Amino acid sequence: MADEYVGAISLELDSREIEVTEVSVNIQTGRKLVKTMNKSGRAKGFARGVEEIEIDVTAVVPLDGEVDWKGIEGAKITTTPISGSGGKRTSYQDCFTTSVGRQYTVDNEARINLKMNALREVIE
């Protein structure tokens, strides 16, 4: 039996789907090591904090009109299994842009590099 891998990735902006070529997700759990002064010379535990979801997105710039990349708020990024049989989709909801960069290649393809944060991760 073959393994199933994540396939399609979509970025939804105001009911419009943007072609995404690359996504990198980094989740900071918010937990921090608590160092104490004790005779064993090691930490005794951790403290819980606020989780942060950071997402790096590379998207193709659409020809039909310019998107306000700096003003993105409330976007949704979804990763979907290729065949859809038994795999789970993962959605990052309420995404907003924190940084925007542009990239041009020899193949005449303009791309936009976005640094985003998400407020929720939902596994469907």
- Structural domain includes residue 103: yes
Asked if the model's pLDDT at residue 71 lies above 50, the reply is yes
- Residue 108 belongs to domain with CATH number: 2.40.30
- Structural domain includes residue 33: yes
Please state the domain count of the chain: 1
pTM over 0.85: no
Q: Tell me what pLDDT residue 46 has.
A: 92
Q: Which of 24-28, 44-48, 80-84, 100-104 has the lowest mean pLDDT?
A: 80-84
- Structural domain includes residue 42: yes
64 secondary structure, DSSP code? T
- Structural domain includes residue 1: no
- Structural domain includes residue 67: yes
| Domain limits for position 60 | 6-123
Q: pLDDT by residue (tens digit) across 48-66?
A: 999 999 999 998 888 776 7
Q: What is the mean pLDDT of the chain?
A: 85
Q: Taking residues 9-16, report their average pLDDT.
A: 81
pLDDT tier at 1, thresholds 50, 70, 90 = very low
- Structural domain includes residue 40: yes
